[in-house]
Amino acid sequence: MNYWLMKTEPGTYSWDDLVRDKKTHWDGVRNYQARNNMKEMKVGDMALYYHSVKEKCVVGIVKIVKEYYQDPTTTDPNWVVVDIAPIEPLKNPVTLAQIKGDDRLAQMVLVKNSRLSVQPVKKEEFDMVIAMGQ
């Protein structure tokens, strides 16, 4: 199993929207590195759900429920989506400042390349962020 972090603007599509919908395809990714990360995702992989922009925090855990396929919002074959479903919210959102302030997470992609919208997370990092949110 692999672990990921997926960033969303909560004003566009929030954790509450995902919970309401029970499942969604992750569309609109137009960065090749993020796209390549999505192509590596497998059914059953887990991801941290991150609210970007003003909130800048991990708010929940999602599961990949369908591997990549053509992004239905474009005819350009370069872009793909995956389907995700909510697993559970974090009891306490974990902020970017908290993550940056923990030396154990200094090598996390979110710390080194915070703009990448879909990024890999090491299992140890995933577990630490989850523990911080409990």
pTM: 0.96
Catalogue all structural domains in the chain, each as residue range(s) with its CATH number: 3-132 (3.10.590.10)
Section 48-71 average pLDDT: 97
- 81, 21 contact by CB (below 8 A): no
What is the structure's pLDDT at 114?
Answer: 82
Whether residue 48 has pLDDT greater than 90: yes
| Average of per-residue pLDDT across 28-35 | 96
78-102: pLDDT as tens digits = 999 999 999 999 999 999 999 999 9
Largest CA distance in the chain: 43
According to DSSP, residue 33 is labeled H
Neighbours of 97 (CB within 10 A): 10
Tokens of 19: 């919970």
